[in-house]
Structure 1
């Protein structure tokens, strides 16, 4: 076999490889440019009415305005979010099925559900953080306490007599309350519900005495006087509730608890497509409608790159693993 033949063969193979790479790149770019080619299903692993649903719907409405096809919310509650996560983990990695990730599904469930059938760090691709929402601690007005210090004293004087509700096992509110119990030495009984809405209904009726959730779900009830806010889990006081002390300044230094929500795609979604979805989410979050809504509820808007969101998830996994172990939080 002469050198001229080998050179020609290498030239043909090289040209074919380059063409194949070019075709693959063109296909990826075309798929990215075509997204979305049909309605996008945005799964929320909770019932309507809670903070997670409010954040997701606000974002989806703006994305639907910006994109050629709508973003449709699909509430799939139950099982601590595991069934919803299982379904999305198996979905096509084409950007048309997304799920709302939050502290429970991304940082706590991996610890308490040992056989969930998926790995959150392998089977999901972080896209972008949507919002960090302050955790508020509220009580029913019949509880004889005006602030966190008085509430802690009352609970300690009546151990086991008070109940607190949550949106469900391993929900953000459940975690925040267990964290507060650890910090203060209180003992209360946890009553899990199927979502923030049902939990709020019983709290407003006085069937439970305490609750923690994000500002979107609680501010209207605080302002109407139907609930009493006793502390915020944020490092600083909130512009919307300037007279409300933080847990840290109420005597529990270093305490910080915020709820957070972000967009996750099935694992294997091409990085170029992840970036496209992230950019569209960032564009939606910069809109006046969302900026004003989130600012009115003291939420910190996200929209950053996927790598930044992935690093934040890892940090949250380390933080809440300690709380889960110490509070002995277990699956239902």
Structure 2
């Protein structure tokens, strides 16, 4: 029995090695649970271009938005574990959705294999010209004076912008109403137009409006200030230093569980090289993203460390959907 087990194990290892030796022998598909345009799409295309040249195979972008990012993520979780279907996603469907929704059509730990955290995102809390506040503490005081009448936007239910805004509203007893959008651009336009008063988005989307004075940045959600917004403090610097404001946020790469280890290692190697390339770094900078290119092990540890923080944030904010 032991001999048969060893033979089977050896065969499995040999087949995995053979797959890695031949990989890739045909085009690879990056599935994005996001619409064309925006940070996730732009970063995925830049990484795909770099990796395609290195791997000597074209990489196809397959945008599958819907269901808070769960639609595209589910497609990868159910795909053949051969390295030819890869998830490139914002952190929502991977880090937040499992705790936001009672029915998630995949199990992140069971169905997906980490490859790399490609980059991290520093989000910006912004307000429109109709809000008199010049800093976050003034906004909190103003929102309390107008309790029940202030609306905030997010770029989707279950997104980091939703959770952080909801946590701020509940923890500071602001009673703000949530308005979910299908993306950052329409959210930003409604803040500019005064339909909503505040919102959290990435620098790439918010920067043009900040530059013209149509929006005003009050705080950065992240560990450090953004170089192009040197005068805007982090949440911690405003006095709201809860760990809940430091989340797993950014763009990640994963594959179906069961993908041969040598293939995962090759994807990890190529993804990390792509993110550190000059061209991709420049693309990340446009969107206020910071290149990471973590190892699969680092990605797994960061994901595990974020779970209790996200669970507490959802519990306090009451943002759970169903």
Fold match by TM threshold 0.5:
yes
Could you tell me which residue of structure 2 aligns to residue 241 of structure 1?
A: 229
- Find the aligned partners of 1:222 and 1:36 in 2 and give their Cα distance: 44
Could you tell me which residue of structure 2 aligns to residue 107 of structure 1?
A: 95
Instruction: Decide whether aligned partners of structure 1 residues 111 and 78 sit closer, same or farther in structure 2, where only a CA change above 3 A counts.
Output: same
Kindly report which structure 2 residues correspond to 1:1-332, keeping only aligned pairs within 5 A, or say none.
24-255=12-243, 256-258=245-247, 259-295=249-285, 297-331=287-321
Report the Cα offset of residue 119 of structure 1: 1.0
3-state SS of 2:87 partner:
strand
For structure 2, list consecutive stretches of 5 or more residues without a partner in the other structure: none
Report the Cα offset of residue 90 of structure 1: 0.9
- Find the aligned partners of 1:70 and 1:203 in 2 and give their Cα distance: 40
Report the Cα offset of residue 184 of structure 1: 3.1
3-state SS of 2:228 partner:
coil
Report the Cα offset of residue 85 of structure 1: 2.0
For structure 1, list consecutive stretches of 5 or more residues without a partner in the other structure: 1-12
- Find the aligned partners of 1:109 and 1:123 in 2 and give their Cα distance: 14
Decide whether the 8 Å contact of 1:36 with 1:67 is kept in 2.
Answer: yes
- Find the aligned partners of 1:135 and 1:17 in 2 and give their Cα distance: 51
3-state SS of 1:122 partner:
helix
Decide whether the 8 Å contact of 2:40 with 2:89 is kept in 1.
Answer: no
TM-score by length of 1: 0.87
- Find the aligned partners of 2:194 and 2:36 in 1 and give their Cα distance: 22
Say which is worse superposed, 233-242 or 197-206, in terms of deviation: 197-206
- Find the aligned partners of 1:190 and 1:133 in 2 and give their Cα distance: 22
- Find the aligned partners of 2:186 and 2:35 in 1 and give their Cα distance: 9
Decide whether the 8 Å contact of 1:134 with 1:232 is kept in 2.
Answer: yes
How many residues align structurally? 319
Report the Cα offset of residue 24 of structure 1: 4.8
Larger gyration radius, structure 1 or structure 2: 1
- Find the aligned partners of 2:151 and 2:37 in 1 and give their Cα distance: 22
Report the Cα offset of residue 206 of structure 1: 2.4
Decide whether the 8 Å contact of 2:99 with 2:311 is kept in 1.
Answer: yes
Decide whether the 8 Å contact of 2:43 with 2:283 is kept in 1.
Answer: no
Pairwise CA RMSD: 2.4
3-state SS of 2:189 partner:
helix
Per-residue Cα deviation, 1:95-148 (whole angstroms, up to 9, x for no partner): 111112443212221123223232111011111110111011011122222221
